[in-house]
Chain A
Amino acid sequence: MLRNRFCFFLLLCGVLPPLSAIARNVDLATVPSRNTVQLTIYNSEDLTLVRETRAVSFKQGVNPLQFSWANTLIDPTSVELQFRQPKAGLELLDATYPHDKPQTLYWNVQSDANREATIEISYFTSGISWKADYLAIADPDEKALRLESFVRVNNRSGEDYENAQVRLVVGTINLVEKIAELAKLPVGQVKDGLKREDLQEIRQKAARMMMAPAAPSLAGAAADAAAEMEAPKEIIKEGLSEYFIYTIEGRETVPNGWAKRLRSFEATDVPMRVQYRYRPRQYGEELARLYLLRNDTASKLGLTPLPDGALRVFRANGRDGLSYLGVQPLSYVPIGDKIELNLGSDPAVVFELRTQKVYRDNLWFQIRGGNVYRKLGDDGLKLELDSQVAGWDEHTVYQQQIRNYTRKPISVQIRRDYAGDVVFRSKLNPILHDFETVQFETEVPASGKVGLDYVVIARQGYNQKQSRVELQAGETGR
């Protein structure tokens, strides 16, 4: 089985002294094995809550238990013991962290009778992580795609987890200290503004919000295993507060050092459309090609938010082959929100802005006084005003040229930012995306081209009264 780094001992001492008296070289111990293990892994922090149950026989009186976790990344302040069955008749008297045995603690448990009990030990560990990733394969005609979502669990905790129920938490939580750092410290050296008990309470509270009882689907796991053909494991998604929990159906073994990737969901024939966008603030100075879809039920998605993860995009070439289109990080997508996949520029679409003409009018001068001149021998006077250009309107006539060499008509959306007091005049039916950003759209036929004419009139200097873009319908001028 595992290269176990956890030891759990029920110390069998003839006469049970309190744990403070345990300081001997010859001991006898039994090692109750794990009955169940549940891992709840957070993707926003290096944090996993482990809950394991073990069956332990208690004698009437005080029972010492030793729990140690050498070479693992457990936060010692988070280790907690609870009695699951029976809940009454057992009492945790105290916990001791001995100074001479690192990564070890002792519990004294008072039992009012000889009995077998199921106890639960929970703790935080670092080193187990999960992340989502996605695979999108578009149809050759780019009208629909198949979207697969995966979760990958990575175990670098130093401990093997066999047959564990795995739960993955989507959402952010607050931690006041890093578990990996706490794991290196003896409990007595945990220093912070918060007391150890407070830390423990905060973490347990945060974790319990997610911890609720195990997912109901577990009962069916054995039956599924016996089915004629094993289906990919279902991942049950549940919302809780601001979080989302994915529970992987059945049990998983994740040995230390291994990573495991499971499919979270698959949706086929997800409707999508292609749009080309020029948005320099968002995509840089290129016409970006995007796949647009929605995380909603109409799109055969929308059962769960999509956690952060890399999304790789391919396109089927119609001959069983694929073309690699790119990879992009997908930020958390709530249910109902849109998904925009930026595939970069398309060499088959040429996007050029041509400045056709520049002229200025509506010139205003600022008078700063005057000078009077007289020529020697002449009685006449000449007055010259000292004036400087203080305001003007700058007209710049543009043509946005788009050539489409693909075999399909394309939809193009253009956003341009104009700082200052600007008039945007055209017949393009533009809208204002915001006070300084003009947006307009066009369709370009397959193997066709368009030229979009507009003039930008920038009111400069004294003429600038506002900071806004005004849209005007009309010709581009002279």
Chain B
Amino acid sequence: MSRNRWLLYPLSLVLWFGALPPEALARIKLTTLPVRERVEIQLDHPQIALVEEERIVPLVKGVNQLDFSWANTRIDPDTLVLRILAPPPDQPLEANVLSVSYPPGETALVWAVSANASGAARVRISYVLGGLGKTFHYRALAGRDEKTLELTQWLRVNNNANEAYDSAQVWAGVGERFEKPLGLSETKEVRLGHFPSVPVRKTYTCDPVEFGYLDGARDKLKVPMHYVVKNAGGSLGKEPLPEGKARIFQDDGKGGGAFLGEDRGAFTAPDDELKLYLGLARDIAVRRTMDRSERQRIAGNLYRYDVTLKYEIENFKDAPVTLDIAESVRQIRDAIRGGDNSGLDPEWRLGDGTLHNPDPEKSDADKLLFHVDLPPRTPDGSAQKQVHTLRLTLNNEW
């Protein structure tokens, strides 16, 4: 037990606690040092580490004092809980915590515990400990066809709590519990989850609001790529995926993995999608222009706007892809009106452009998302240009 700062002293003296000041006891105490029988570290709380240690404490009949101290560590003393666990049936020892005393100027306390007989009691001491933290990270290995990936979830426990644990059962709130020693100032990394053959969708997305332009003068949008993993089905979907950095590799076909990049994965609830950014696709070109913007006065200062956005898309890849086109109606309205002067939410209707069936799951009153299938480049190497239009009518604007 390293250079231990925790001391648990049962004072084997039968005393009426109130009869003698505790500071006087400290000088004549006879102590035994009950070792930790078992330690559990609960890391299920987002910010807080709860440590529980189990010890077997010899008690004498009458009132006992347990002296607990924690110099140089960051135990929150207000969270300390001493629980006396149920004794085995053949050793019915009944014990109660009578009071807790806090000596001045010390990181220590004294529990007064009464027992109806002499014997050993199994106790659990729980406390919130600062300096003990956790992070998650992921390794994703995509297949050659980028249809599935092998996702591995790792937990890192960082022990800066200035205390060592010979063996501790750790629970991070997700995954299985595991038992490991945790040394002083040590970082322990453990594989928590392994999810083979997870279906993955590689997306190509253009979104002028979120991702912007690659070349504004030529109206060329950025087309970032993502791996999208749905936290559902198979071995996934039973628990949330905590946030953490993900390193992404692709099977290079030679038994190794080519590093594709890394991204910070957000907390992903079951049924939600984990999106990992891979970089910009340079083989898909999207030019976005506003083809028409007409204003029609209905009455007084009430207007209707008709807008047409045109997308000229080329896929220079030798494989077909699906392009996601995202738009914000508010951003379009503000662009044609030179800003939002009314404070109104846009009221809109889709016209008869080629983009008229937004994805109902991923679209709402402001955001529109369309999927467009792009064929591969032709055998002679040229890309087939596709032109799509989005027609919007903005009603009741003033």
List residues of A whose CB falls within 8 A of some B CB.
133, 135, 160, 162-163, 225, 228-233, 250-253, 255-263, 310, 312, 314, 317, 320-327, 347-348, 350, 354-360, 363, 365, 385-389, 392, 394, 396-397, 403, 405, 449
Contact = CB atoms under 8 A, between A and B. Distances in A.
A96 B387 CA distance: 103
A350 B272 contact: yes
A403 B62 CA distance: 54
Contacts of B23: 255, 258
B4 interface: no
Interface centre among B21, B40, B96, B270 (most CB of A within 10 A): B21
Interface stretch (B97-105, B181-189, B201-209, B216-224): B97-105
A232 B44 CA distance: 33
Contacts of A323: 42, 44-45, 50
Interface SS, A side? strand
Interface of B: 16, 18-23, 40, 42, 44-46, 48, 50, 52, 54, 61-63, 78-79, 81, 85, 94, 96-105, 114-116, 124, 126, 128, 240, 267, 269-272, 299-302, 344-347, 364-366, 395-396, 398
A310 B302 contact: no
B345 to A, nearest CB: 4
Nearest to B95: A229
B364 A324 contact: no
Contact of A162 (B21, B240, B301, B364): B21
23 contacts: A229-B96, A229-B116, A230-B96, A232-B97, A232-B99, A252-B18, A253-B18, A258-B104, A260-B99, A312-B78, A312-B79, A320-B124, A321-B40, A324-B42, A348-B269, A350-B269, A355-B364, A363-B302, A365-B302, A388-B300, A397-B365, A403-B271, A405-B240
B242 to A, nearest CB: 8
B114 A229 contact: yes
B102 A230 contact: no
Contacts of A250: 18
A160 B269 contact: no
A21 to B, nearest CB: 41
Given A347-B240, A386-B300, A233 B98 contact: yes
A260 B100 contact: yes
B110 to A, nearest CB: 9
B78 A310 contact: yes
Given A133-B78, A314-B126, 9 more contacts: A232-B98, A258-B23, A258-B103, A317-B42, A320-B85, A320-B124, A321-B40, A322-B52, A360-B395
B21 A253 contact: yes
Given A251-B18, A355-B366, A359-B347, A314 B300 contact: no
A260 B44 CA distance: 31
B79 A324 contact: yes
Contact of A255 (B22, B63, B271): B22
Contacts of B104: 256-258
B78 A356 contact: no
Nearest to A319: B40
Contacts of A251: 18
Given A255-B21, A321-B40, A359-B347, A385 B300 contact: yes
A-B complex: 7 closest residue pairs judged by Cβ atoms: A257-B104, A387-B300, A229-B116, A259-B102, A230-B114, A261-B100, A355-B365
Contacts of B42: 317, 321-324
Contacts of A363: 302, 396
B300 A229 contact: no
Given A229-B114, A231-B96, A357 B45 contact: no
B300 A232 contact: no
Nearest to A260: B101
A363 B270 CA distance: 44
A235 to B, nearest CB: 11
Contacts of B124: 320-321
B365 A160 contact: no
A3 B128 CA distance: 35
A317 to B, nearest CB: 8
Contacts of A258: 21-23, 101-104
Contact of A348 (B48, B99, B240): B240
B50 A324 contact: yes
Nearest to A164: B18
Nearest to B86: A320
Contacts of B269: 347-348, 350, 403, 405
A229 B81 contact: no
Contacts of A396: 345, 365
B52 A321 contact: yes
Contacts of B396: 359-360, 363, 392
A185 B20 CA distance: 34
A365 B50 CA distance: 64
Nearest to A324: B50
Contact of A356 (B20, B240, B301, B365): B365
A294 B100 CA distance: 28
A327 B78 CA distance: 10
A320 B124 CA distance: 8
A104 B88 CA distance: 60
A385 B366 CA distance: 34
A347 B63 CA distance: 44
A66 to B, nearest CB: 27
Contacts of A359: 347, 395-396
A394 to B, nearest CB: 8
Contact of A228 (B85, B116, B272): B116
